[in-house]
A and B are shown apart, each in its own frame.
Chain A
Amino acid sequence: MPDNKTNLPAISRQVTELVLAGSTEHAEEAFNEAAEQFGDLAVVEVLDSLEPQVASLHLSAFDGGKLSLATLLIPPKAWAESLAFFAATWDEDTIEDEPEVLAEALFAHIHGVVFASDDHERRAALIHEALATDWGTTAFAVLFSTAMEEIIEIANDIHNHGAHRSGQTTSDHDVIPLALEIARTDEDAWNRVLFELFPDWQPGANELRADSEDDDGDDDEHGDQEYASGRSTRELLLRLRKQVPSKAVSTPKKGARPSLGEDIFA
């Protein structure tokens, strides 16, 4: 659709402005109009052209129940990039005080996007792109860290029987379908998440253990060899927060003088 091309920069600019102004509802309306006028592909293109932090801001406004065209149509790669900014608004106090709330929000977001459509190819692509990034891997690890026992059970099962023959768990925890989806569609990705969650795990050499704090102290050495304990949700949230790209880091100014910092008050 060569005719539509000319309209797209205008639409993405409009959407960007609306999102940054906090008016995600109106941004969504703009998407709807674009979809009606030019078709879904136009929306896909606009989503693709948005800055990842803008896309992230927009998507995060539509978690849990509210349906968004963007959730359905965002290109996997664009989504993977936007994930990097999901943690941008978290501060350390919140991570310390209520990690469950943040993990819950993250789950609502990821689950919402991945399971928005029944299209298996899209799901696989979303998972693949997200887990091809470090932050995406950490984000998924956060979700799994909320259900350590279950994930260990699945991990062991998959390790012993292969991804496609396992999947019978006793649990109905929300993250299980997501875990199985990953394990079945992308084995490398699955291994990366497990490694992010259990950095010390060596399959065959030691066993996974849910919580390292249980019997810390009485048999430290014994524990280190036999068990690989997982990172806590809080630890992973912090890791995710630290991966949010910041402009200062990405574009070091050349020629700029070194900052005085607090010495401006000296």
Chain B
Amino acid sequence: MQLANITTRPPHLVQALEALAQRADYRAAADTLLDELSGITVLVAKRYTNDKTAEGLQEAYHLTVGCISLGISQAELPDTDESKLSFLLHHGAEYVFQMGFRHIKELSALPYVAFISEFDNDSFVQQRNLKALFYEICRADPSATWAADDVYRRELASRRENQRFVECARWLRKQHYAGPIKDSDLDANAVIAIAVIFGIAGDGRIVARTGQKDIESLISRTRKTPPDIEAAWGKLLEHIPVEFQPLLRERMDEYRDTIIKKILSRSKAKTVITEIQDFYAGNELDVEYP
């Protein structure tokens, strides 16, 4: 029988401290670390929790443990306690905390979903998001098992992906056939979907936004003279920068047998339009019926 392979480990800071306890002469280093760690805890309490209550300090203590552990975990060290310790002592707890906190900041600057709204530029919202992320990833109980570095890595990967969608969508908006689209809200998935769907027309135009009327005319045009979809998409891709091409190709593979088939099929135009509106064009559909 195959057993699940579960490794449990304490936060990296705790691992480093365990290595310190093994050293023959740890007094001076321990004293310095203690000073630094308690100093950091107070600063965290002042800024994020509450430095006047025991709960606030306890919370700040957990946040400190987690943030320093995150700093150590992302430094690409050999996986030994000793190397974590030397890293910590070499840089000092404060700098390692700073590293951890910068990771959180970096993460917080990336979009949580592939949807940008004007609230995302509000500094209050940004601070709130930073705090929420700091709490979510950095709260670590030193006596419990710790896996926040994995959480961080997954979150970073998913947000980077979102960021790619957003960048691609921004580029598409700029190239919109009827002139660049300026809107503080951006539904990146919808922009890409619209571009791919309208790409089947084969006229090489980049469409980043649409209205119901445009969808109707696309359907009637393509039903009248079925286009060579692969050729049309190839033409579209010619205009797209290399870095965004894989992203669009993915969408094309996804749509080829789903929505595109429906557009060309004999199902009622109204059903198809509704589906595009509901599942593809999302917030990038002009509501007015001109």
Contact = CB atoms under 8 A, between A and B. Distances in A.
Contacts of B47: 262, 265
A146 to B, nearest CB: 28
Contacts of A257: 92, 94
A266 B102 CA distance: 7
Nearest to A265: B101
A264 B35 contact: no
Interface string A248-260: 0000010111011
A263 B40 CA distance: 11
A256 B35 contact: yes
Nearest to B48: A265
A233 to B, nearest CB: 24
Contacts of B36: 259
Point out which of A257, A260, A262, A265 has the most chain B C-beta atoms below 10 A from its C-beta: A265
Contacts of B32: 253, 255-256
A265 B94 CA distance: 10
B95 interface: yes
Interface in A216-266: 253, 255-257, 259-266
Interface in B85-103: 92, 94-95, 97-98, 101
**Interface footprint category on B:** 10 to 19
**Interface footprint category on A:** 10 to 19
Q: Is chain B's interface secondary structure helix, strand, loop, or mixed overall?
A: helix
A263 to B, nearest CB: 7
A47 to B, nearest CB: 29
Nearest to B134: A265
B92 A264 contact: no
B147 interface: no
B98 A263 contact: yes
Interface string B212-227: 0000000000000000
B111 to A, nearest CB: 22
Contacts of A256: 32, 35
Contacts of B40: 264
Nearest to A91: B52
Interface in A128-169: none
A247 B47 CA distance: 23
Contacts of B98: 260, 263-266
Contacts of A266: 98
Nearest to A248: B35
A262 B43 contact: yes
A264 B36 CA distance: 11
A41 B31 CA distance: 36
